[in-house]
Structure 1
Amino acid sequence: MYIKNYNNLDQKTILERLKKGEITIPRAFKLLMELDDYRQSSNSTAFTPRDEKNKDTAGNSLPFNKTNVEKVLKDMDKLVGLTRIKKLVKEYISFIQVQKMREQYGLKTEPVVMHMIFKGNPGTGKTTMARLLGRVFKELGLLETGDLIEVERADLVGEYIGHTAQKTKKVIQKALGGILFIDEAYSLARGGEKDFGKEAIDTMVKAMEDYKDKLIIILAGYPREMEFFLDANPGLRSRFAIQLDFPDYSVDELVKIAELMFAEREYILSENSKHYIYRVLTHILNKEDSIRGNARTVRNMVEDTIRHHAQRVIEQKVINKKTLMLIKEEDLSGGVGSNDRLSGNGDA
């Protein structure tokens, strides 16, 4: 009698079959030994899927850690909105993976140039996406560290001739191995030909060639201003072939962002609070002079609300876990700007 399925087999069953004479003593001993080996191997299978996942169907090791890449992509999927951006980014990541695999098999490859333009209003997820790209590019072996160095005009432009090149080179050296993220990049061209910003651009362009395997540059800013910037510097458009447009968030998306921010801080919103946030954000986004899609407004609202919540709670006679977590409408009405406060029923 041979038993090949060890999932439903245990030591007691083997001994019972021995007593009944269904198996011999040598066979029982062998089964006990095989069962022990099976259990030990089962305990170590946690490592097997990861190893197999990082191999192609031919059994060859992948030139990147697929498990870690997928982990970053899952974090990216958690971001609110940005559906089209996520789709495009995943396409670029797939392209890089295939080029790495083709190189491993000695096949011809396409050049991987990942310098990018991010166009969008403030608070639409540009910096967050850049950080995630740094992480995934590190896992793909495209960058050594994947760190994000965020700068603006003042960090690059100097006060006298030659000073700008020195400052820009210093920043570039710091960013090697990762991503250099230049916010409001259009400001580098605002002064025309005589402005020192042009020197920063020229230094940056040279670095793109000198450190093409060690540095990725992302230029970010308002959509209209970035288009003007690219038109004023025709050479830049071809060097930054990847251009991503970050759309404004809808009211529903901003409400979701607010809920996630509160949840991350271990706060709970009452139903009235959720409705109040929706009304406030609708009011803000409908203002003619407001910048749509500004998640920074949501972050400021969350931080202000938490302070007002603390002030309310500390004055209560009874404080427990629920009171420390529950956000009421009165906390929110005190946590947004006075011009944006809306009247409504308080929470019970």
Structure 2
Amino acid sequence: MPRPSSKVAQPQKCGAILLPALAALADSGYIRGVCASICCACRQHPFACRGAALSPVRGITCTFSDGLFLTSRVEKRRDRRKLKGGSGVRGRKEKERILKGPTEWRKQKQLKKLRIVMTAVGLMLLFSVAAGAFLAWYQIQSALDQNRQQAAQPPASSFSTEEETDDDSVNLALAGPGRPLPAGYRVQVETYQGVSVDRRILPALKKMMEDAAAAGCPLTLAEGYVDAERQDALFQAEVKRLLKTQKLSQVVAENRAQSTVGRGGQTDAQTGLSVAFAAADKNFGATPQYRWLTRNSVDYGFVQRYPAEKSAKTGMEGNAARFRYVGVENAVQMRELSMCMEEYVSYLGKRDG
């Protein structure tokens, strides 16, 4: 019998001889795939065993008529190795990248960047709000401290002294036509610039006159406290003058004298809390001193005692030169309410019941 041939069928020159080299290149990752045409016998070639062994795994087909497309899966094998051997933070991130895919991985990275940016913006807003709140608190605290300091110090233009009396039974003591001073009222007489006044108003009076002089409106005292006896003498002298010069009856002369001079004990001069200022032209209402007093006298506790528009309430004719001390608080309220003393005392009586 003829001996079987020991020769192995040789591959045809249709590209099968390139299979080992191409397979090596595919395994090394240098190429994604190669295409070569081989014959059907290549499956039995010694060097084709690599391709034949890989064919079931890689899905390689080898026919004489079709080309061989060797698809290299080196990257996938590397990914599988990384999935198996990855460790630590870097390994976990690499596994996530492989499992999620490029598109999902990019989205996740963008989300992380967006979170970082939003966190930074939130921190900046929080810092801005905190800084604004601190600045507002600081300004409010500074304003409160300034108000406390101003409250602790008296205004430069107002009178403040420990000697100022807060006794409204004295400050608001009324004397006028048909309203004599209360029984037992006593004046603490003291002389200032040749005029007698109650010593309780002296500090305020001195301060007011000093500030008026500093403002270019020096004040000169013309009259202060007048006792009841002397006031009665002045009243009788005025009645006689009216009877003689104007030929009035006794009753009419006395009524008119009462509205201009006043009977003893029924005029504000007997309180010792009012003064009259002198004017060079005898019309004090037209002087700069009067205008200064109308603006500033309440800051020292003084008010005009007999405003011309309040004659019906006071019972006396208007007198621009006479100012009465009532205390700073009462003076300010009288100005705000546009009241004379008679109106203000009546108002307090009704308010306090």
Task: State the TM bucket, normalised to the shorter chain.
Answer: under 0.3
Bigger radius of gyration among the two: 2
Larger RCO, structure (CA 8 Å, separation 6 or more):
1
Q: What is the TM-score normalised by the length of structure 2? A: 0.22
